[in-house]
Structure 1
Amino acid sequence: MKKRRILLTALSSMLFTISFSQITERERPAEWNNLINGGKFMDRFEAMPQGKLSADVWGCKDVVPRFVDNGIESPTISFWGGNIIKGDDGVFNLFVCGWPENSRKGHMFWSNSTTFHATSKSLSGPYKIENSIGKGHNPEAYRLSDGRYLVYVIDGYYIAHDPKGPWIYGVFQFNKRGRRIIEGLSNLTFASRQDGSKLMVCRGGGIWISRDGVKEYNLLSDKSTYPPVDGEFEDPIVWKDSIQYHMIVNDWLGRIAFYQRSKDGLHWITEPGEAYMPGITKHQDGTVEKWFKYERMKVFQDEQGRVIQANFAVIDTIKWEDLPGDKHSSKNVCIPMNKGMLLTVLNTKPVTEATKKIDVLIKGENDFNPAKDIDLKSLRFGSYKEVNYGRGFTVSSVKESGNDLIVTFKGKNSGIDSEEFAPKMIGRRKDGKMIFGYAALPFVDYKPAILSATAPVYFKDEKQISVNIDNFGLSASPATDIELLYNDDVIARGTLEPIEPYGCSEISFTTKPEFIPLKSRNFTVRFIRNGKLIDTNNFVIE
């Protein structure tokens, strides 16, 4: 997506709106009007499963009647956040926080939350509280390589061998590595990497990695990875499927979320269109539960890592208008999602804009026969920059391969270039349902090396600057050239020998005799390979 600023509306009442309504309208880029169905993440939300419809419940008229057996709700507890892990026994475990609805501050009692463990035999609920884990807000749970459950809450975590407990409280250790933490360490979200290590995103959009998900988290990014737009960002959610990383971040003031993708979890692209916004809780007959706000999105994934359900904390009014003993409250809802297709590009040579023909294998599944189900004329394939707008390669021919379908695409302007790591397909089934998918490329390294420097250290007497380089990637790094800049001027160059995953190497640069750094030091470390800039690390040292 091209860099652009989404501006607040220039209404005279803007300050009043922000202060009292906890909402302001965001102006969308005009090009978003040209997105086709499937071009934005929000198109993947599907109708909620038919459930117990009731009008004898709390809530304003916009959310009554509703499915009271969807997710978790109670007339006596205000729920918030929460995500689901399927246990070894097949039971779905929801880790969610809440507080008494009649608390003296109403919703604003949230800082006194208790984190609960709730269960259900159905992914969409209803969930019933089994036990209390302990105090804490905004929980997110994940499993470690040894099978233990870890439930993060703001400022700490709980860990146990079984969802029923006992739970032991702990506190993460964070290594800034000479970088500035953006907006503090709260509302953390986690994704499992291929080797069982964890990638974490903090509230401000910083990227962190822990080798085991419990011990020290290391900061890799020196700036926010969020989209370059105006927004009051919080509640990131990150996950990984069999191909790539995904992230959604919410602009709580504008009630609009953005969708991003990454090959390595450190460098991100932003796709156009809303990731979610109010109005996504729909019944099969088209009825919409019009919750005022959707926050704390979490996902449930299938064996391939595809999202098949999203969970949200929802509230029917402005947070501070939810008062003790009134008709307002909050709950957790479950929304099914279009999981997408499993795709693989069969071309053995790198695909570029000059490529005229691309063969893509669409995998058949128990609930999907690509040869019989797909409207072939609707398919488009290429870069998201083209396909999301209905452009890209079209179908030239097809060939069945067992339960799978090999589709040959031909044309011009696929938009695929050397930076593409997962081209996209959009189309329709014959029944009209949207289909989409991202394709793995056989010539792309999905476990790349990730070189990351610590803050340079200047030794005045020796006239040397020392830099430690870590490899937080999952492959050994090839030999890499390094440039060291001071206040944008190159002051030294060197070559870094290969580093194994999680390995570290120290490189020292001898400075010129006349080099005297100021008290405030602006250093940059550049990584260059085969003449191409791979990455840049920036440091401001006071």
Structure 2
Amino acid sequence: MRYIILFLMMACCSKVSAQNMIFDQWGKAPVNGGFEMADYWVWGSSVIKGDDGQYHMYASRWPKYLKFHPGWMMASEIVHAVSDTPEGPYEFKDVALGARGAQFWDGRSCHNPKITKYKDQYILYYMGSTHPFENINQENASELTLTSKWCIAARWSKRVGMATSKSPDGPWHRLDTPVLDVKPNSFYSFLTSNPSPLIKKDGSVVLLFKGRSYKTDSISHTGQFIGVATAPSFEGPYTVVGNEPLFSKDKFGEVEDPHLWSDKNGYHMIAKDMTGQIIGSRHGGVLAHSSDGIHWTLDACPQAYTRTVQWDDGQVIEQGQLERPFVLVEEGEPTYIFFATMDGPGGFGNGTKTWNMVIPLKKE
């Protein structure tokens, strides 16, 4: 039955149009839009329109003397950039969340920002991590590998947290503990990461997140799971719903980078298909929907995007990486989709630059 469903979905999406709210609406990406910084890897953006009329972007950056991966686990910080238009270009303004010492749960790295607002509070969700070792710098950067002491400790300590401010310019009040910790014998016993919040009108929160669990050897970890947590307010407490993930290798397929939004038709999620199990295209985009944010179903034609982008200078390019989708919603309608992207043939070790790009969505 699973293969019949997959065949029908792929048949639907093999048509000229995938017939959904994202795939059908892609415009041309502005070559001079988005956000990049010289001498830094830039990744994963989240954008909000402030009361000042400007668009405020929060993004991750880390120095290019570190490898792209796993350099972000050691030295990522969340920066703030602004633009008068959603397309950009965005100009760097300040560091919103930086390193603050190994003793803090998020003391070494802040990553995966997601910005939202409730009443007069701006709330910045993110992933934080730490490690107890000496800093990585230009002198010892070559020692940083996926099996190095820094990476092992930093990956193990990844947690979801939150900071608040009355202004998009800060200052940001950071918490001394994460808002979503791990739980033994669960699908998130190893780490929590990649938060995507939605605050309802009554102030309660639905939060999608990525988890990994320990394998039975109690040393290594599993692949990625997507779970959902709820809270009565953004201040918490956050409670994971159920004992099983929403998405996994055995349920729909393995996805990453979930982004959550809502409109008059309910809740929507866009995410990266890690293996192509769902849409038949590795690292393409997946769309799912829900009536309550808790119970999810794949869209009839779930392919949201591929890595091929049409730019406004006429070029059509298959990006090396196209990740961290973020949908900007204005007056209840999706208006732009943002991505972290990399040049090159694909693979984190094969690119020379990264930036955050933006694509306008056509009005239906």
In the superposition, the TM-score normalised over structure 2's length comes to 0.73
The percent of aligned pairs where both chains have the same amino acid is 25
**What CA deviation, in whole Å up to 9, does each residue of 1:157-207 have, x standing for no partner?**
322111211112113434889983447311111112232321001112211
- Other-structure match for 2:256: 234
1:62-211 → structure 2 map (5 Å cutoff) = 67=31, 69-101=32-64, 103-111=65-73, 112-135=75-98, 136-154=110-128, 155=159, 156-170=161-175, 171-174=177-180, 180-182=186-188, 184-203=191-210, 204-211=225-232
Q: Decide which moves more: 37-46 or 196-205.
A: 37-46
Q: Taking structure 1 as reference, are residues 153 and 229 closer, same or farther at Cα in structure 2, changes over 3 Å only?
A: closer
C-alpha displacement of 1:212: 1.3
Q: Indicate conservation of the 8 Å contact 2:33/2:89, yes or no.
A: yes
Asked if 1:332 corresponds to 2:356, the answer is yes
Asked if 1:309 corresponds to 2:289, the answer is no
Asked if 1:219 corresponds to 2:249, the answer is no
Unmatched runs of 5 consecutive residues or more in structure 2 = 99-109, 129-158, 211-224, 276-281
Unmatched runs of 5 consecutive residues or more in structure 1 = 8-26, 52-66, 323-327, 341-542
Q: Indicate conservation of the 8 Å contact 2:342/2:353, yes or no.
A: yes
Q: Indicate conservation of the 8 Å contact 1:4/1:229, yes or no.
A: no
Q: Which has the higher contact order (CA 8 A, sep 6+)?
A: 2
Q: Taking structure 1 as reference, are residues 104 and 201 closer, same or farther at Cα in structure 2, changes over 3 Å only?
A: closer
Q: Indicate conservation of the 8 Å contact 1:95/1:151, yes or no.
A: no
SS where residue 123 of structure 1 aligns? coil
C-alpha displacement of 1:247: 0.7
- Other-structure match for 2:150: none
SS where residue 240 of structure 1 aligns? strand
Q: Indicate conservation of the 8 Å contact 1:237/1:248, yes or no.
A: yes
Amino acid corresponding to residue 39 of structure 1 in structure 2: Q
C-alpha displacement of 1:314: 0.5
Q: Indicate conservation of the 8 Å contact 2:121/2:165, yes or no.
A: no
Q: Indicate conservation of the 8 Å contact 1:6/1:230, yes or no.
A: no
Q: Indicate which of 207, 221, 245 corresponds to 2:267.
A: 245
**What CA deviation, in whole Å up to 9, does each residue of 1:371-390 have, x standing for no partner?**
xxxxxxxxxxxxxxxxxxxx
Instruction: Provide the alpha-carbon RMSD of the alignment.
Output: 2.8
Alignment length (residue pairs): 295
Question: Which structure has the greater CA radius of gyration?
Answer: 1
1:131-530 → structure 2 map (5 Å cutoff) = 131-135=94-98, 136-154=110-128, 155=159, 156-170=161-175, 171-174=177-180, 180-182=186-188, 184-203=191-210, 204-226=225-247, 231-253=253-275, 254-271=282-299, 272-279=301-308, 281-284=309-312, 286-304=314-332, 306-317=333-344, 318-322=347-351, 328-340=352-364
* C-alpha separation in 2, matches of 1:186 and 1:134: 16
C-alpha displacement of 1:47: 2.4
* C-alpha separation in 1, matches of 2:251 and 2:187: 20
SS where residue 137 of structure 1 aligns? strand
Q: Decide which moves more: 268-277 or 37-46.
A: 37-46
* C-alpha separation in 2, matches of 1:158 and 1:248: 24
In the superposition, the TM-score normalised over structure 1's length comes to 0.50
SS where residue 23 of structure 2 aligns? helix
Q: Indicate which of 24, 48, 56 corresponds to 1:44.
A: 24
* C-alpha separation in 2, matches of 1:273 and 1:286: 27
Q: Taking structure 1 as reference, are residues 289 and 106 closer, same or farther at Cα in structure 2, changes over 3 Å only?
A: same
C-alpha displacement of 1:88: 0.4
Q: Decide which moves more: 85-94 or 178-187.
A: 178-187
